[in-house]
Amino acid sequence: MEFQHISVKLFLKNPGAVDWEALIPVFHRWIEEQPDGELLLDIADYRHVIAGPGVVLIGHYANYSLDNAGGRPGLRYHRKAAMDGTNQDRLSEATQAALTALQRLETDARLRGTVQFNGHEMEISINDRLLAPNSPPTRAAAEVELRPFFSGLFGDADFAVSYSADPRSLFSVKVRSAQAFGIAELLDNLNSVAPASR
């Protein structure tokens, strides 16, 4: 199974402290700066939607958002354009983009430290129901790719994965590491397991 349209969500610590209003000018600055070759275009504000997409930074290749889906705020990276390489490459690139974006938010003085990764929990989805219907065969095929990816990301730490069983929902997997990690540590782990693929 080929992974495309990967979405990575990194869950937050102290989600009730998030300064949602301050996030909008931060994302506007990203549009002005266009970091890392991105083509960032616009902002959509869905804060009024309960347990919804939050504040979305719309890009040509990918969207970034601080979303509240499922009532759990987190930074989401959603890749829209197709990606080259292997499934491991695509998982690594999407996760690296999410981690880098959250790192920028964590260190932005305008947010006053209200956005922080909880250190051990993330969700990966494939936003393509034709490519990856949420079914047992998809989960079996994905497991072959996801287990080694998480092993590389979390190093020697134990981790647990869980899958959504609702066939109406997107295919997604939540992973929780037994050890809390900083963003820099996870980025180093990604670079050490596949330095030549990017």
Q: Please check whether residue 27 lies inside any domain of the structure.
A: yes
Residue range(s) defining the domain that contains residue 158:
6-193
Q: Note the pLDDT of residue 116.
A: 96
Structurally, the chain folds into a number of domains equal to 1
User: pTM of the full predicted structure?
Assistant: 0.94
Q: What is the pLDDT of residues 141-183, one digit of tens each?
A: 999 999 999 999 999 899 999 998 899 999 999 999 999 999 9
Tell me if 198 is assigned to some domain.
Answer: no
Cα four-point dihedral sign 14, 77, 46, 132: negative
- d(Cα 174, Cα 27) in Å, to the nearest integer? 26
Question: Can you tell me the mean pLDDT for 68-85?
Answer: 94
In a domain, 40, yes or no: yes
Higher pLDDT, 30 or 70: 30
142, part of any domain: yes
Domain contains 139 = yes
pLDDT mean over 13-22: 90
Predicted local distance difference test score (pLDDT) of residue 36: 77
Chain mean position to CA 33: 21
Residue 52 CA to residue 19 CA, distance in Å, equals: 16
Number of Cβ within a 10 Å radius of residue 9? 25
- Determine, yes or no, domain membership for 125: yes
Asked if pLDDT for residue 194 goes beyond 80, the answer is no
What's the whole-number average pLDDT of the chain? 93
Rounded to whole angstroms, the Cα distance separating 66 from 43 reads 11
Mean pLDDT for 44-59 is 95
Domain for residue 1, yes or no?
no
pLDDT tens-digit readout, 87-118: 999 999 999 999 999 999 999 999 999 999 99
Tell me, yes or no, whether 99 lies in a domain: yes
Say what percent of the chain tops pLDDT 90. 88
Whole-angstrom distance, CA of residue 48 vs CA of residue 61? 26
